[in-house]
Structure 1
Amino acid sequence: MFNFDYFNPTKILFGRDRLSELSCEIPSDGRIMLVYGQGSAVRSGLIDRIRDILGDRIVGEFFGIEANPRFNTLMEGVDRIDVCGADFLLAVGGGSVMDGTKFMALASQYEGDDLLSFLKSYSLGSCVETALPLGVVCTLPATGSEMNCGGVISHEDGKFYFSSPLVYPRFAFLDPTLTFTLPREQVANGVVDAFVHIIEGYVTKNVEARFQDRACEGLLRTLIEVGKKSMDNPEDYDARANLVWCSTMALNGMLAVGTPEDWRGHMLGHQLTASFGFDHGKSLAVVMPALWSVARDEKRAKILQFGERVFDIVGAASDEDETIDRIIDRLREFFESLEVKTSFSDYDMGQAEVEVILAGLAKYGQGDPSFNRCVLELAI
């Protein structure tokens, strides 16, 4: 196991009927700006409930953050912060809203005129020394953004990751009942996203990180158990509660400490989304089985361990490649069981679209071009 530091200051308030405690988590003299997406939080009545709880401490609202939040949209939000004089941001929504709010918390405190260049060079977190405090009311189990300090922002034909310890949420409300009205497709995408967050830190190399391995395996098996169940029975509180907590734990940093990580699947998936507007979960389901097949030699031991401990697949030592093929097939079957397709051809896409994705990856210097091509062509 490698040396590591671990720090996570986010307070979690988990469970049903906790929203009334929101007022206690924000300073009584706080000037709050609500940040939310494109209408679902309003239609569900959640925004009105929050307005009633916080009253005149809300000095402004910014809404309309799209899926895969865009730089230009968020800069409008930064202007809104200046106009209303907010000193605390409250994100109400899923990963896009949370990521966008983190970006605005940083960008609102930056005084230069080259913010976009820092974002595109993946160094945004290092150029800003202060940020507005923020909290979260999470309505979608998927990204884990509610308990980490990172985010992904879109601009033109690229998606750009940023990270700063300044934007850990001060608190996150995780009420599973707030997710009951999610569309079936969004729940499925969220299960895939959480699953891949875990395996990109787990299926790498063995460094004798036994606690991390067992924690990952437990979460993966839980997602397999409750993923489809939570889609079919959206108001099954226990199933949805387990899905919500698994999604948070998948990317709060604890699972990855002391271990190597491999985020090439997310890199490829992000470019697929940037180029063609793919849902993030769908992009990951397309690229991950192909990536494992291409990278089987470097990941061999951990793929076999994953197969045995998560899918209960044990093969003959004399034919590891056949066992790995079975494990990859089972991974595809799991994604397909969630009604998420696993190849470009399922979306009427082929070599022409692969070339567009490869051009986007090359434009922003993402990954090894030969490896990228092998994975994407195999995913056709």
Structure 2
Amino acid sequence: MISAERFCDELQRRGFDFASGVPCSFFGGPIALLGREPGRYVPATNEGSALAVAAGAALAGRSSYVMLQNSGLGNLINPLTSLVMTYRIPLLSFVSLRGWPDPAEDEPQHAVMGPTTQPYLRLLGLPNWILRPGDGLEQFRKILGAAQDALRAGRPPFVLVEKGVVGTTEAQPPEGNDTKLDSGEVVRTITKLATDSPIIASTGYTGRELFGIEDRPTNFYMQGSMGHASSIGLGVALAKPDRKVIVLDGDGAALMHLGAFSTIGSQQPSNLIHVVLDNGVHDSTGSQPTTSSTTRLEEVAAAAGYQTWRRCRTLTEVRDAIGSALGSPGPHMCVIPTRPRTGPMPPRATSSLTPESIRGRFTAAIGGAPDATTVSGAS
């Protein structure tokens, strides 16, 4: 294992003095270290943005790199192919290899990207190397040397990092958590008010919390697809205008695809209630900070065209906001400051349910179409 300090120091020694990225637990240590030094790391809202930020710094003469999870590689492709590769911008990328080498050993949402990450990069003609847990500092240095040769040749290199390669470092928790609500109490309050309303829960700890508090067929637990809970909720709300639809989102996920707010505002789904649990961190990847402290999400929703928007600081305010939203036309936004989660978390829904069964029972519970896998094609 390479310590987080050695990982960052070796890159710094080679002149790489600017980084951006989206958190992954594999890179929790380096991100925590770099985040303590102003100007060294930019926490981006999504992977494409991270690449563009690093590309801008590279255009201005900084040696830059990005760190991200392979599940977010798709967000990276447009700026990678149309910006970095087209303009031959020298940029180094570190990508964690989730779902690899054995997809069955990871979460279901990584089963597709794990085995296809390296072949996909090869398809694009991009040089890449795998850094494995048994590789030490010398192997890391050899890979970085080869990556720098690729950069000088105008080809953006990728270093693919397996689990357990880089050491961890304790993240610094946000201040002022003692005045914030417990997310479990908030989720429990909302589920009691929701009765049979469909609930779409964002990926990570939010979905796990909902599953542990009250599992029911009208819950849809996202595995992966971070940032798209509100868009899924919009689709359900438009397809089922007679049902109130609740989205349980996280601040990091909401920020990742903030443009969804504008789409919701333009479509005006009167039955959509969008709840953001804002704890200021990416909980499930190591509590790296999000940018929600400088973004008033309820005000963004207001500007996007939501009918109501509130920031709730007490459970009484949460009850009032959700109760009012259930009885009035929306779309509604409710932002709830919560403490970062501590202690043991409930298991993922997929610990006892397959993704297909989650989808099937949800569709059946809200009166959707028959399971597509059981419908024969028209002749």
Same-fold call, TM > 0.5? no
Q: Which has the higher strand share?
A: 2
Q: Which has the higher helix share?
A: 1
Scaled by the length of structure 1, the TM-score of the pair is: 0.30
